[in-house]
C-alpha cells in the first residue's frame, strides 16, 4: 500500500554558477587560459573586448537562419521563455556513463626508451626466435633501466604467450647482449650489477677502476652502508687511494634509463605566476597576471538578435523559436562565465592581500626566517572565506616577487613555541637544520642527537625524533650516509 506524505527539509545546494566559480578558482594560470579558449570556441555569444570571437558570426548566423513556413499559431514570448516548456533533453546531450572520464592523451612524435632499445637490438644479428626473446626481455625493463622480473618467470611468459620453449641459460645469453646496449648499465637486475656493467665499459687498465670494481664485487654492502674503515682493512688501502676508487663509483648513474633523454618526447612544466608583486617606493603593489587572460564580453550581434526575436512576439515561426532558445541559453552561459571569472579574480586578490599582510616581513626582505607560522584558518579568519576556498586558492598558484617565484603553499607552515614563549614557523627550524648540516664536517657528520642539542642551545626545545622528521622532509639522509672521506 502506498502512502503520500509531506516532509519539510532544509537542504544546502550549490547553484550552477557557484559550481563554475569553484572549478575556475582551482585552475592555475595555464589551465585557466585553456579553459577560456575552450569557452570561446564553444560559445559563439562570448567574445573578446576587441570584438573577436572564436567562431565566425556569419557561420553561426547561417545555422540560425530562419525559414518561412505557414505556421501561424499564436505564441507568447514570455510563455516561451519558461524553460519547463522545453525539457533539457531537447538541447543537451547526456549519453556518457557516470564512470567515464575525459582524459587528454599527450601526443609525441619521439621514440620512447624501450623503442630506443628495440632500435639497437634490431642492429644485432639475431634469428627470429632470439629476436622474440630479446623483445620479451626489453618489455620487462622498467624506465630506470632495470630488469625487475626473474628470468624463470620470463621463461614461463614466453612459453604461454609466445608458445616458445626456452630456458634461463638461453635467456641469460640474450640478456648479456642487451646489457651491451646503450645506455651503459641497462638490463641489470640490481644496482650492484648495473654499476659493475658501467665500470666494465671504462678503461680497466686504470688502477682506480679495477679497485672500484673489486669494491662493488666483494664489499658492496659495506660500500652502501659507508663502512669505509672495513673496506680499507679488507684491501689494505690508503685513504687517498680509497677516495679515488669511490670517486669513480660516485660518477656512475644509479638509474641508467634516466640517461636516455629526448627533449621532443618529454613534456616540460612551465610555471606562470598568478600574481605579480612589485616594490615601488618601499610600497608593495600586488596585481593579477592577466597577460594571456583576455577581457570577455557579450557579442552585440547576438544581443540584438535576441532583442529582435522578442520584438517579433507572436509572429515567430518554429525555427525562430528554436533560434531564440539557443541564443538565450548561450547568452546566459556567457554571462555566468564572465561573472565567474570576475568573482575568481576578486577572491584571488582578497586571499593574496591577506597573505601579504600576514607575511609582510618576509615579502619585504625575502628572508625565510621571517616567515611566520600560518595555517589555512588564519587566512580564512582574515578574509571571512571558508577554509576550503583558501585551500583552492593556494593550490597550484604562484606569486612572482623581486626575489623569486614561490608557490602559495610555501607560505603555510606549522608553528612551534620557543622557550621564551615566542611562536616560530617550522620552516625557520628547517632552515637552521639545513645550515647546520651544510656547514658540518663531512668526515664526521652531525647526528640527529647533536642537531637536537644545537637547536636547544638556540632556544628550540624539540625532540630528536622531531629533528629526524624535519630532516627527512628536507630529503637529507642520516649522518652515516652523509659521511665522506
Selection from 417, 411, 418, 421 nearest residue 372 by Cα: 411
**9: pLDDT strictly greater than 60:** yes
Residue 283: the pLDDT is 86
Residue 204: the pLDDT is 86
**88: pLDDT strictly greater than 50:** no
Query: pLDDT digits over 312-330, tens only?
Result: 666 667 777 777 788 888 8
Single pTM value for the model: 0.54
Q: Are 232 and 240 in contact (CB under 8 A)?
A: no
Query: pLDDT digits over 394-418, tens only?
Result: 888 899 988 888 888 888 877 676 6
For residue 321, give the 3-state DSSP assignment: helix
Give the C-alpha separation, 1 to 58, whole Å.
60
Residue 227: the pLDDT is 87
Phi and psi at residue 138, to the nearest 5°: -60, -35
321-349: average pLDDT: 85
For residue 276, give the 3-state DSSP assignment: strand
Residue 50: the pLDDT is 61
Selection from 402, 193, 377 nearest residue 277 by Cα: 402
**268: pLDDT strictly greater than 80:** no
417-424: average pLDDT: 66
220-225: average pLDDT: 88
Q: Are 415 and 425 in contact (CB under 8 A)?
A: yes
**421: pLDDT strictly greater than 80:** no
What angle is formed at CA 243 by the lines to CA 237 and CA 245, rounded to 5 degrees? 80
233-257: average pLDDT: 89
Q: Are 136 and 162 in contact (CB under 8 A)?
A: yes
169-193: average pLDDT: 92
Q: Are 447 and 394 in contact (CB under 8 A)?
A: no
Give the C-alpha separation, 124 to 253, whole Å.
25
227-251: average pLDDT: 89
Give the C-alpha separation, 68 to 58, whole Å.
20
Query: pLDDT digits over 434-453, tens only?
Result: 888 888 888 888 888 888 88
* DSSP element (H, E) containing 404: strand 404-407
Domain 415-482 = CATH 3.30.930.10: no
Q: Which of the residue ranges 69-78, 99-108, 293-302 has the most confident prediction, judged by mean pLDDT?
A: 293-302
Q: Which residue has the higher pLDDT, 458 or 17?
A: 458
Mean pLDDT of the chain: 79
196: confidence class by pLDDT, cuts 50, 70, 90: very high
Q: Which residue has the higher pLDDT, 102 or 14?
A: 14
Q: Which of the residue ranges 99-108, 114-123, 468-477 has the most confident prediction, judged by mean pLDDT?
A: 114-123
136: confidence class by pLDDT, cuts 50, 70, 90: very high
87: confidence class by pLDDT, cuts 50, 70, 90: very low
Query: pLDDT digits over 21-61, tens only?
Result: 788 888 888 888 888 888 888 888 888 766 444 444 444 44
In the chain, pLDDT over 70 holds for what percent of residues?
79
Amino acid at each position: 500500500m502506498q502512502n503520500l506524505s509531506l516532509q519539510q527539509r532544509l537542504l544546502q545546494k550549490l547553484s550552477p554558477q557557484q559550481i563554475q566559480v569553484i572549478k575556475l578558482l582551482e585552475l592555475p594560470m595555464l589551465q585557466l587560459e585553456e579553459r577560456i579558449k575552450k569557452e570561446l570556441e564553444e560559445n559563439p555569444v562570448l567574445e573578446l573586448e576587441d570584438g573577436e570571437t572564436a567562431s565566425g558570426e556569419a557561420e553561426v548566423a547561417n545555422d540560425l537562419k530562419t525559414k518561412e513556413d505557414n505556421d501561424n499559431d499564436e505564441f507568447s514570448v514570455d510563455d516561451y521563455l519558461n524553460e519547463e516548456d522545453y525539457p533539457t533533453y531537447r538541447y543537451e546531450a547526456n549519453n556518457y556513463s557516470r564512470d567515464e572520464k575525459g582524459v587528454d592523451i599527450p601526443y609525441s612524435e619521439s621514440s620512447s626508451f624501450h623503442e630506443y632499445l628495440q632500435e639497437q637490438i634490431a642492429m644485432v644479428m639475431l634469428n627470429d626466435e632470439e629476436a622474440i626473446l630479446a623483445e620479451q626481455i626489453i618489455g620487462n625493463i622498467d624506465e630506470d633501466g632495470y630488469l625487475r622480473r626473474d628470468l624463470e618467470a620470463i621463461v614461463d611468459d614466453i612459453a604461454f604467450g609466445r608458445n616458445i620453449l626456452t630456458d634461463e641459460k638461453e635467456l641469460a645469453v640474450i640478456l648479456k647482449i642487451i646489457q651491451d646496449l646503450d645506455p651503459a648499465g641497462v638490463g641489470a637486475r640490481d644496482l650492484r650489477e648495473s654499476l659493475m656493467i658501467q665500470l666494465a665499459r671504462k678503461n680497466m687498465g686504470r688502477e682506480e677502476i679495477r679497485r672500484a670494481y673489486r669494491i662493488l664485487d666483494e664489499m658492496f654492502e659495506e660500500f652502501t652502508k659507508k663502512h669505509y674503515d672495513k673496506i680499507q682493512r679488507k684491501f689494505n688501502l690508503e685513504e687517498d687511494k680509497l677516495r679515488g676508487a669511490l670517486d669513480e663509483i660516485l660518477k656512475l648513474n644509479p638509474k641508467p634509463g634516466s640517461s636516455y633523454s629526448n627533449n621532443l618526447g618529454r613534456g616540460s612544466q612551465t610555471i606562470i605566476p598568478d600574481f605579480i608583486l612589485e616594490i615601488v617606493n618601499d610600497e608593495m603593489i600586488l596585481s593579477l597576471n592577466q597577460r594571456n587572460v583576455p577581457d570577455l564580453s557579450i557579442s552585440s550581434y547576438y544581443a540584438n538578435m535576441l532583442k529582435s526575436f522578442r520584438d517579433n512576439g507572436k509572429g515567430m515561426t518554429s525555427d525562430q523559436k528554436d533560434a531564440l532558445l539557443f541564443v538565450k541559453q548561450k547568452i546566459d552561459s556567457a554571462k555566468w562565465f564572465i561573472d565567474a571569472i570576475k568573482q575568481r579574480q576578486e577572491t584571488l586578490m582578497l586571499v593574496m592581500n591577506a597573505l601579504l599582510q600576514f607575511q609582510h616581513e618576509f615579502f619585504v626582505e625575502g628572508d625565510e626566517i621571517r616567515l611566520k607560522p600560518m595555517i589555512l584558518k588564519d587566512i580564512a579568519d582574515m578574509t571571512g572565506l571558508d577554509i576550503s576556498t583558501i585551500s583552492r586558492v593556494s593550490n597550484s598558484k604562484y606569486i612572482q616577487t623581486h626575489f623569486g617565484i614561490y608557490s602559495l603553499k610555501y607560505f603555510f607552515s606549522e608553528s612551534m613555541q620557543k622557550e621564551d614563549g615566542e611562536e616560530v614557523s617550522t620552516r625557520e627550524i628547517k632552515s637552521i637544520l639545513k645550515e647546520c648540516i651544510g656547514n658540518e664536517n663531512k668526515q664526521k657528520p652531525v647526528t640527529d642527537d647533536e642537531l637536537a642539542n644545537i637547536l636547544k642551545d638556540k632556544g628550540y626545545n624539540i625532540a630528536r625524533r622531531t629533528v629526524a622528521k624535519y630532516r627527512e622532509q628536507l630529503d637529507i639522509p642520516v649522518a652515516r650516509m652523509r659521511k665522506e672521506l
